[in-house]
Structure 1
């Protein structure tokens, strides 16, 4: 139980971008509540300005569905960026006030399961506006640069591989805590297996491959289902999430066992013999906890492929890159020693470390920062001034000319701008203000996947999207 003389509240911020981030937040909330803490849950998409969170979620889904190659190029272009692009930064700044409002006076720690929320929390910590520990629980097995936020006190990882990736990118307080899943995901005995097959109307003795594609049902699922069926090694059982159109197409393709959203995923996993996945998210961890061997196949771009590579490197799930390797790999997992070894490795993942909850509780019970969260008025008054690098300016600009430059001006200040008369300088600032307004309006389009997205022009170069790229270039110029 938390100390009786200290506040007992923890804030958990997730995002409804698929189900993985929310699933991790749900388990954190359940375990912390069981330990006696009060937990406040928030969806980061609701904290974004102008109600654009749902628009971003929809744009991300459409990008994965309609332009997966474009998403791959975007992801690769931003995978190791040390700082979000200007559109993302502007959007995140707009979420700071609402994010800070989620922290009540008795809150002792804030935990993020989403990279955008982590970026905001880290910025608030760096500027002294958040006086309690902020932690990130890395829900992916691979770590995109946006997961690593300066100012975050601790980055909690499920395995040594994502921990090493986070450390290499400069993350603070990296700790291998192990994963966390719903306790219903456990290995099934033969009686439970047969009962589950009867409940789901599945054949009693045929090897079954559970094919999943996340809550959105994205990726080349139809191709994967047809290829699993064509191997003759196992019968595909497909879960389409909330993608009802995909379910109808699969049934039309002749796939006999197709499900939409499944509430009893532990039971369905008990009924099956192997999991085939394409994103490397929470469902993979749930299968490992349930004693199912896991294989990655026809992975979605971006994080789907980097997660597959990390799971393969960890020895937890082979990544099949070529269709002709599907049948032999499934055979090895279903009937050979490789399947037994992977079941053991998956189960060991959950016994080697206690999960992230003890680390969160330790931070929450630690001493609070000596600096309280300032009031709104004090935050404005105490805003730190930007230190200008005088040596980088043209030598003809005297150093004392910087005295009249506002503290929030861009770091790179042309000499001509410092010589402008008052009226001209006011006009220049007005243009900058208009640009920032346009920036916020364009952020919805420019930030197709918050925390991962980058301007399409950057990813495509001289592609047909060059007009959008010109707008992004215009906006980026304002940030320099």
Structure 2
């Protein structure tokens, strides 16, 4: 079999979303026969100290915004429409470039994928005469100009609305593909609800990053609703799980989970999901047609994601606990509303995003990086024969 060259996926660890998309793509490419797919946290490798500080600020931005110190939201909205020619944009574009050049010289990749808005990578490569295909995967439902500080060979976006926003800001429409946001394969394997969960089953995605605030109060008030069963996923936040276990010991209607690998089953078996507004979790909920309630979305892309899905009729935004409980109660008791949400969510669902992206990427790769005779064949055909065949 022809030995395939390396692919590089550039990401950043500000929350789990960018890294999760990168891993989904890495696994998909490896399944297709690419042995050398490397995921690089570019800021971590290029500027480890700065990355540590900025990650700390990001991770604590939600808690501090509750006290009026909303520095992340301020920075997001101040730079949302920043022009690529500005001094700040040029400075942001330079971050990590030298490290990336060193990696490229060492790895000799055939393609570069970004799942984080690094800025002018494509332009910097062209200036240095490095002519490898590049593509960028937007991991949100709304546009921030930083995603378009330079033009890769291909953008992959979540929705048609996002594609239109990019075209309006000058991005050539022929380089934008509406693929959806890549989510884990398990969500495409999930059948209809057969788990025996009661009709009034609530899933709370508490998470380790940007934990939903006031979890004890939220849980207490939701338990006052009749005939409910609540699953709380605490992720890697052992402290939160321990606190809830101590507060609700013996409560049979509450089930606490740490890190789980069957979130698709819990989500599919729920009547509604309470979550923060990360693009990946929202995409997963949309895929299984479950109503979404977002509680106190953080200013920035999460607030914009929530606002977009609220406008589309698939999510409800609550800023106070009584409002949250009221939305949940309405969703649980109104089958007609749940049907409407499912219908509207279906309209937002894209194709199998990671498959679509891999198919396009295969067509972008130079011929020397693919088996002989690949031209004109689909990615699935390559999987069945070309990439794993003789």
Q: Give TM class, smaller chain.
A: 0.7 to 0.9
The reply on whether 1:339 has 2:343 as its aligned counterpart is no
Q: In the alignment, what sits opposite 1:33?
A: 30
In structure 2, the residue matched to 1:100 is 101
What is the match of residue 134 of structure 1?
Answer: 134
Q: 1:245 to 1:154 in 2, by over 3 A?
A: same
Determine if contact 1:215/1:261 at 8 Å carries over to the other structure.
no
The correspondence for 2:241, drawn from 247, 250, 254, is: 247
Shift of 1:270: 4.0
Q: Distance in 2 between matches of 1:45 and 1:162?
A: 26
- The answer for the alignment partner of 1:473 in structure 2 is none
1:107 aligns to what SS in structure 2?
coil
Count of aligned pairs: 353
Q: CA deviation at 1:258?
A: 3.0
Q: Is the partner of 1:136 in helix, strand or coil?
A: strand
2:331 is aligned with 1:330: no
2:231 to 217, 229, 237: 237
For residues 59 and 343 of structure 1, the distance between their equivalents in structure 2, rounded to whole angstroms, comes to 37
- Per the TM alignment, residue 306 of structure 1 is displaced from its structure 2 partner at its CA by 0.2
Residue pairs, 1:306-455, within 5 angstroms: 306-320=304-318, 325-327=323-325, 329-334=327-332, 335-347=334-346, 349-351=349-351, 355-365=356-366
Partners of 2:62 and 2:86 in 1: CA distance? 20
**CA distance in 2: counterparts of 1:246 and 1:105, whole angstroms:** 42
Q: Secondary structure at the match of 2:363?
A: helix
**Residue 179 (1) aligns with residue 181 (2):** yes
Cα–Cα, structure 1 residues 246 and 50, in superposed 2: closer, same or farther, change >3 Å? Answer: closer
Find out whether 1:267 has 2:265 as its counterpart: yes
1:279 counterpart SS class: coil
1:228 to 222, 235, 238: 222
Structure 1, gaps ≥5 residues long: 195-203, 369-480
Distance 2:263 2:276 in 1: 17
1:144 paired residue number? 144
TM-score (norm 2): 0.77
Name the CA distance, whole Å, in 2 between partners of 1:366 and 1:341.
47
Instruction: Say which SS state the counterpart of residue 365 (structure 2) adopts.
Output: helix
Check conservation: 2:136, 2:152, Cα contact below 8 A: yes
The answer for the alignment partner of 2:202 in structure 1 is 209
Who is 1:295 aligned against?
A: 293
2:69 matched to 1:76? Answer: no
Cα displacement (A) at 1:276:
1.4
8 Å CA contact 1:233–1:331 kept in 2: the answer is no
CA RMSD between the two structures? 3.3
Aligned to 1:49: 47
Instruction: Please give the alpha-carbon distance, in whole angstroms, between the structure 1 residues aligned to 2:109 and 2:223.
Output: 52
Instruction: Name the residue aligned to 2:10.
Output: 13
Largest Rg, 1 or 2:
1
Q: Deviation at 1:21?
A: 0.6
* TM-score normalised by structure 1 residue count: 0.64
**1:138 to partner: Cα distance:** 0.4
Change (3 A) 1:78 1:248: farther
SS in 1 for 2:13: coil
Give CA deviations for 1:12-56 in whole Å, capped at 9, x if unaligned: 111222111111111111222223334222112323225432332
The secondary structure found in structure 2 opposite 1:130 is coil
CA separation in 2, counterparts of 1:73 and 1:300?
11
1:117-132 pair list within 5 angstroms: 119-132=119-132
Report SS of the residue matched to 1:205: coil
Deviation at 1:168, TM superposition (A): 3.1
- CA distance 1:167–1:244, shift in 2 (3 Å): farther
CA distance in 1, matches of 2:345, 2:268: 15
Q: In the superposition, relative to structure 1, how do residues 350 and 333 fare at CA in structure 2: closer, same or farther (>3 Å)?
A: farther
Q: Counterparts of 2:129 and 2:57 in 1: how far apart (Å)?
A: 31
Distance 1:275 1:129, change over 3 A: farther
